[in-house]
């Protein structure tokens, strides 16, 4: 399953990058990922609170899978029972244009658990990416 949200933001990629990787300031603007502990470096371990719309709140342990300043950041998490049960990767891409930045937020998710809650998860993740992108836009513009 792939969920994607694209938003135009009137700011530089550097401004977006600084905001996106300043994890201690997430509680001030990011209600979807209100707590991220760790560093934005390749293969770094992260502890993340994910707060999806609809009341689904969970704590995950993730690993940074990509970090190319100021254009790309991603992390992935696997369920404690294994990737076969649930696996997700969150990806954030930024591309500078003539009137700002095109910010793309994506989540790729798969695993057996989606068989039972795919529709609810698609809806929650779509709303989450939209809310997070709008909050980031409001924060930097």
Domain boundaries, the chain: 2-140
* d(C-alpha 130, C-alpha 34), whole Å: 15
Residue whose structure tokens are 């990767």: 89
99-134: b (≥16 Cβ within 10 Å) or e: ebbebbbbbebebebbeeeeeebbebbebbbbbbbe
38-96 pLDDT, tens digit each: 999 999 999 999 998 876 789 999 999 999 999 999 999 987 787 778 889 999 999 99
State pTM to two decimals: 0.90
DSSP 38: S
- CATH code of 2-140, in short, is 3.30.530.20
């Amino acid at each position: 399953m792939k969920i994607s949200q694209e938003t135009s933001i009137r700011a530089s990629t550097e401004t977006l990058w600084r905001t996106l990787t300043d994890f201690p300031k997430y509680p001030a603007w990011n209600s979807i990922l209100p707590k991220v502990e760790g560093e934005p470096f390749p293969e770094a371990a992260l502890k993340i609170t994910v707060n999806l719309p609809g009341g689904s709140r969970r704590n995950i342990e993730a690993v940074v899978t990509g970090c190319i300043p100021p254009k790309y950041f991603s992390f992935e998490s696997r369920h404690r029972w294994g990737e076969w049960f649930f696996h997700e990767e969150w990806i954030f891409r930024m591309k500078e244009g003539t009137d700002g930045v095109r910010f793309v937020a994506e989540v790729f998710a798969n695993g057996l658990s989606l068989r039972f809650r795919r529709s609810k998860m698609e809806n929650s993740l779509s709303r989450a990416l939209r809310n997070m992108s709008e909050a980031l836009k409001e924060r930097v513009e």
